[in-house]
């Protein structure tokens, strides 16, 4: 009767089996098929119960996200859930894999729920900038009470079967084939004369302090609004009739669906998956990846080694001397203990990783058998070339030689070897075993299977891998350098670093740029300014007030003093009183009269600088697509996910508006604010960055 719903019977039980791979999303065809199958079961006098079950890896992973933003198609999901619940037959959902979002709402429309011990349920809509829109916020609190329902709706977390049973969401857990255990449960219910049990007819949840709960959720969301909407929907379940509560939920859902925040988060959902699917890698087999070498066990090398160990790879790490080797081992063991404490690994796994999977040595000979080496030594071309020369001599043919350099030219590094086709950049982010981003930097001569292996490594390490071309800073650091400069210019012109940090955290960034600079170490920027000093354009404005702090040996958080002062052993910080003095001295020397900046102007300038440079990165082919840049900023630079990324933000603002701002700023500083040609072309042709994403996806 339907391609996606198969209908069969087992005695008095009608079985509705959802077959919509890969995750049984509730597309229009599934909704219609379920509705028709319910009609058919109800029309058959022999049938006493209906079992809904999913085929494949999940019961139902939720609404079909690809339908969001398109005109609604009947039957809608809330009506389907109500229709299932209103059935005169006893309806049972048998769940396995994940049951998420609209999937859980369908299950809550059923009268009884049975699940596999490994099943997980949840309402993850908040991660898409939404709230449950098919009765989830009305039915769930009638089972669990308001507080637990709010926690589920606002965290979006996946709840394991045993916890879900304790919460009252699942009635029974039984291992076996979901259809078989479901039919057996249905037969038991029929023979015991179990009644229909509609959650909508259960008592409304008791009242809690709604405003305090709402405020707490909004504060935690750092600008994201859908969590707060979820609280208000559960409040409606407590205060209104079921039907009015459903209408209130629908209104909030529709508002969220129309918001820029859900557009940003849905963009993130699809592109974090799409970014690593390169058409040119289809059918290209990656090289072997069992053991890896890491050169340098400092901040990055130790983090990369930890990430590889946690992914069950063997690691050989090379340091310059015994003391450095011991320090590197200490760093890795510290991170592995952290993973043990967080429950990521068991004690026996931890011990095996420390004793047998990790080798720390001072001799390059131990690298002769590894499949891939990642160099993470000092950011100095001469040192890197020397290391690659040695690797070339010792590594087996076909071994991949990768650099974790932040800025340096990977083509030049490759040229220091006799096998440039085997050389690639693998740019991790600190802390490397935690941060999700990996830039796979493809040099001129990198072989395609080496690129495929870079992506394969990213996948094994659980990273979001993004292809980048060679340029100073690749995708992320190049764009960072530019928007950081815009922030520095604002400081010279009168905005304080503390106002800028606050305006940008209010916008949704995890941290402001000056707090980030303190965390990364002010010496990095200082060294970069020195490195670039010779080649500067005469019109380039380069603030130097912070170099004076560096000259005194203050490098930010690690030395206790930077833009902020840090108390030893605490995360607390206060503005450094030296900074306004240093800024005032530089303003006086440059004859600048400081002016006031509104928070809005700060955000506009910062974002326009980011967008303009990001557009140039796409225009030059350094990034494959605008969405790739968005994923780099989201997963490596604390960009608020609910804004989708800088180029999604630009699309939502309107590119003509963004370009007009850039042109206005260019009147003050034509060198820094030169508009991207790609941005100009898009505005002229009335297209968006998302149009480019779509064109590339075809």
Of 134 and 234, CB closest to ligand CAA: 134
Sketch the per residue contact string, 638 through 667, with ligand CAA: x for CB under 6 A, - otherwise.
------------------------------
Minimum separation from the CB atom of position 433 to ligand CAA (A)? 20
Rounded CA-CA distance 619/624 in Å is 9
Q: Are 96 and 83 in contact (CB under 8 A)?
A: no
249 binds ligand CAA per the rule CB under 6 A: no
490 binds ligand CAA per the rule CB under 6 A: no
Backbone angles phi, psi at 336, to 5 degrees: -65, -35
Instruction: Specify whether 241 is catalytic.
Output: no
Rounded CA-CA distance 150/375 in Å is 47
**Which is the catalytic residue, given 96, 267, 427, 554?**
427
Backbone angles phi, psi at 474, to 5 degrees: 55, -135
Backbone angles phi, psi at 461, to 5 degrees: -85, 0
Quick one: which of 268, 252, 329 has its CA closest to 298?
A: 329
Q: For residue 431, say if its preceding peptide bond is cis, omega within 30 degrees of 0.
A: yes
**Which is the catalytic residue, given 477, 661, 676, 688?**
477
64 binds ligand CAA per the rule CB under 6 A: yes
Using a 10 angstrom Cβ sphere, with 0-12 exposed, 13-18 middle and 19 or more buried, the burial of residue 210 is: middle
**Sign, CA torsion 460/461/465/469:** negative
Rounded CA-CA distance 246/199 in Å is 13
Q: Which residues, at least 6 apart from 441, have a Cβ–Cβ distance to it below 8 Å?
A: 410, 424, 425, 426, 427, 468, 469, 470, 474
65 binds ligand CAA per the rule CB under 6 A: yes
Residue 406's binding partner among ligand CAA, ligand NAI, none (Cβ under 5 to 8 angstroms by kind) is: ligand NAI
**According to CB under 6 A, which one of 13, 23, 310, 437 is a site residue for ligand CAA?**
23
**According to CB under 6 A, which one of 33, 54, 109, 132 is a site residue for ligand CAA?**
132
Residue 671's binding partner among ligand NAI, ligand CAA, none (Cβ under 5 to 8 angstroms by kind) is: none
**According to CB under 6 A, which one of 117, 220, 258, 273 is a site residue for ligand CAA?**
273
Of 31 and 427, CB closest to ligand NAI: 427
Select the span of 34-42, 127-135, 485-493, 670-678 touching ligand CAA (CB under 6 A): 127-135
Residue 61's binding partner among ligand CAA, ligand NAI, none (Cβ under 5 to 8 angstroms by kind) is: ligand CAA
264 binds ligand CAA per the rule CB under 6 A: no
Beta strands across the sheet bearing 49-54: 5-10, 13-18, 49-54, 90-95, 112-115, 172-173
Minimum separation from the CB atom of position 173 to ligand CAA (A)? 20
Select the span of 12-20, 55-63, 195-203, 594-602 touching ligand CAA (CB under 6 A): 55-63
Residue 296's binding partner among ligand CAA, ligand NAI, none (Cβ under 5 to 8 angstroms by kind) is: ligand NAI
Tell me how crowded residue 552 is: count the other CB atoms within 10 A of its CB: 10
Minimum separation from the CB atom of position 55 to ligand CAA (A)? 14
Of 439 and 651, CB closest to ligand NAI: 439
- DSSP code at position 22: T
Using a 10 angstrom Cβ sphere, with 0-12 exposed, 13-18 middle and 19 or more buried, the burial of residue 571 is: exposed
| Residue sitting closest to ligand NAI (CB) | 298
Q: Which residues lie near ligand NAI (CB under 6 A)?
A: 295-301, 318-320, 324, 376-379, 383, 387, 404-406, 428-430, 520
Of 473 and 626, CB closest to ligand NAI: 473
* 293 beta partners: 316, 373
Q: How far apart are the first and last CA of the chain?
A: 32
Select the span of 124-132, 161-169, 427-435, 537-545 touching ligand CAA (CB under 6 A): 124-132
Residues 84-123 contacting ligand CAA, CB under 6 A: 98, 100-102, 105
**According to CB under 6 A, which one of 33, 54, 133, 646 is a site residue for ligand CAA?**
133
**Which is the catalytic residue, given 85, 105, 439, 456?**
439
Q: Which residues, at least 6 apart from 61, have a Cβ–Cβ distance to it below 8 Å?
A: 23, 24, 25, 98, 100, 101, 103
Instruction: Specify whether 356 is catalytic.
Output: no
Of 66 and 290, CB closest to ligand CAA: 66
**According to CB under 6 A, which one of 115, 134, 161, 266 is a site residue for ligand CAA?**
134
**Which is the catalytic residue, given 238, 406, 576, 676?**
406
**According to CB under 6 A, which one of 1, 22, 192, 667 is a site residue for ligand CAA?**
22
Instruction: Specify whether 477 is catalytic.
Output: yes
CA distances from residue 591 to 284, 428, 539, 584, 644 in whole angstroms, order as listed: 59, 41, 16, 10, 40
- DSSP code at position 599: H
Of 257 and 374, CB closest to ligand CAA: 257
536 binds ligand CAA per the rule CB under 6 A: no
Residue 10's binding partner among ligand CAA, ligand NAI, none (Cβ under 5 to 8 angstroms by kind) is: none
Instruction: Specify whether 427 is catalytic.
Output: yes
25 binds ligand CAA per the rule CB under 6 A: yes
Quick one: which of 149, 316, 290, 344 has its CA closest to 230?
A: 149
By CB under 6 A, the count of residues binding ligand CAA is: 24
Rounded CA-CA distance 178/158 in Å is 19
CA distances from residue 424 to 290, 411, 477, 501 in whole angstroms, order as listed: 18, 9, 17, 35
Name the residues annotated as catalytic: 406, 427, 439, 477
What are the residues binding ligand CAA (CB under 6 A)? Answer: 22-23, 25, 58, 61-66, 77, 98, 100-102, 105, 124-125, 128, 130, 132-134, 273
């Amino acid at each position: 009767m339907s391609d996606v719903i198969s209908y069969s019977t087992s005695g008095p039980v009608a079985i509705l089996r959802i077959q919509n791979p890969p995750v049984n999303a509730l597309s229009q065809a599934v909704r219609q098929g379920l509705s028709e199958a319910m009609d058919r079961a109800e029309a058959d006098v022999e049938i006493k119960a209906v079992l809904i079950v999913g085929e494949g890896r999940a019961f139902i992973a939720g609404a079909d996200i690809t339908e969001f933003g398109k005109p609604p198609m009947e039957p809608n999901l809330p009506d389907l859930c109500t229709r299932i619940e209103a059935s005169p037959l006893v309806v049972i959902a048998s769940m396995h894999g994940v049951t998420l979002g609209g999937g859980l709402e369908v299950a809550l429309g059923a009268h009884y729920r049975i699940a596999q011990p490994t099943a997980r349920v949840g309402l993850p809509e908040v991660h898409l900038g939404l709230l449950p829109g098919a009765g989830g916020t009305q039915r769930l609190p009638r089972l669990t009470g308001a507080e637990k329902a709010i926690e589920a709706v606002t965290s979006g977390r996946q709840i394991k079967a045993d916890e879900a049973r304790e919460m009252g969401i699942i009635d029974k857990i039984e291992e076996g084939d979901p259809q078989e255990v479901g039919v057996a449960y249905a037969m038991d219910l029929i023979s015991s004369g179990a009644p229909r049990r509609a959650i909508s007819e259960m008592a409304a949840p008791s009242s809690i302090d709604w405003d305090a709960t709402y405020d707490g959720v909004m504060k935690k969301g750092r600008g994201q609004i859908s969590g707060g909407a979820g609280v208000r929907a559960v409040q409606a379940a407590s205060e209104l009739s079921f039907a009015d509560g459903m209408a209130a939920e629908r209104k909030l859902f529709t508002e969220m669906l129309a918001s820029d925040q859900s557009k940003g988060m849905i963009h993130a959902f699809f592109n974090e998956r799409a970014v690593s699917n390169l058409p040119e890698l289809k059918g290209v087999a990656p090289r072997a990846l069992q053991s890896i070498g890491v050169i340098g066990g400092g901040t990055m090398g130790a983090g990369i080694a930890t990430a590889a160990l946690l992914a069950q790879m063997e690691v050989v790490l090379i340091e310059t001397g015994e003391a450095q080797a011991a320090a590197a081992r200490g760093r890795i063991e510290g991170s592995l203990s952290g993973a043990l404490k967080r429950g990521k690994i068991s004690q026996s796994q931890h011990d095996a990783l420390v004793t047998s999977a990790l080798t720390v040595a001072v001799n390059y000979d131990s690298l002769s058998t590894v499949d891939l080496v990642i160099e993470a030594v000092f950011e100095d071309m001469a040192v890197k070339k020397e290391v690659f020369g040695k690797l070339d001599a010792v590594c087996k043919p076909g071994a991949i030689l990768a650099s974790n350099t932040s800025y340096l030219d990977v083509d030049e590094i490759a040229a220091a070897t006799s096998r440039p086709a085997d050389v690639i950049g693998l740019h991790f982010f600190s802390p490397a075993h935690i941060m999700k981003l990996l830039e796979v930097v493809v040099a001129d001569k990198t072989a395609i299977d080496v690129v495929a292996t870079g992506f394969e490594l990213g996948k094994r390490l659980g990273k979001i891998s993004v292809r980048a071309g060679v340029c100073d800073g690749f995708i992320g650091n190049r764009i960072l350098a530019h928007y950081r400069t815009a922030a520095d210019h604002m400081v010279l012109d009168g905005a304080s670093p503390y106002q800028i940090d606050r305006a940008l955290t209010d916008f949704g960034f995890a941290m402001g740029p000056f707090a980030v600079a303190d965390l990364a170490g002010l010496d990095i920027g200082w060294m970069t300014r020195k490195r670039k000093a010779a080649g500067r354009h005469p019109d380039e404005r380069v603030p130097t007030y912070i170099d004076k702090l560096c000259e005194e040996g203050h490098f930010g958080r690690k030395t206790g003093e930077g833009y902020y002062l840090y108390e030893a052993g605490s995360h607390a910080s206060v503005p450094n009183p030296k900074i306004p003095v240093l800024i005032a001295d530089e303003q006086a020397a440059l004859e600048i009269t400081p002016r006031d900046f509104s928070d809005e102007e700060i955000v506009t300038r910062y974002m326009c600088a980011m967008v303009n440079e990001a557009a140039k990165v796409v225009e030059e082919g350094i990034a494959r697509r605008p969405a790739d840049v968005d994923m780099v900023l989201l997963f490596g630079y604390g960009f608020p996910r609910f804004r989708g990324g800088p180029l999604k933000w630009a699309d939502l603002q309107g590119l003509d508006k963004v370009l007009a701002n850039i042109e206005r700023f260019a009147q003050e500083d034509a060198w820094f604010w030169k508009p991207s040609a790609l941005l100009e072309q898009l505005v002229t042709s009335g297209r968006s960055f998302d149009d480019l994403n779509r064109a590339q996806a075809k």
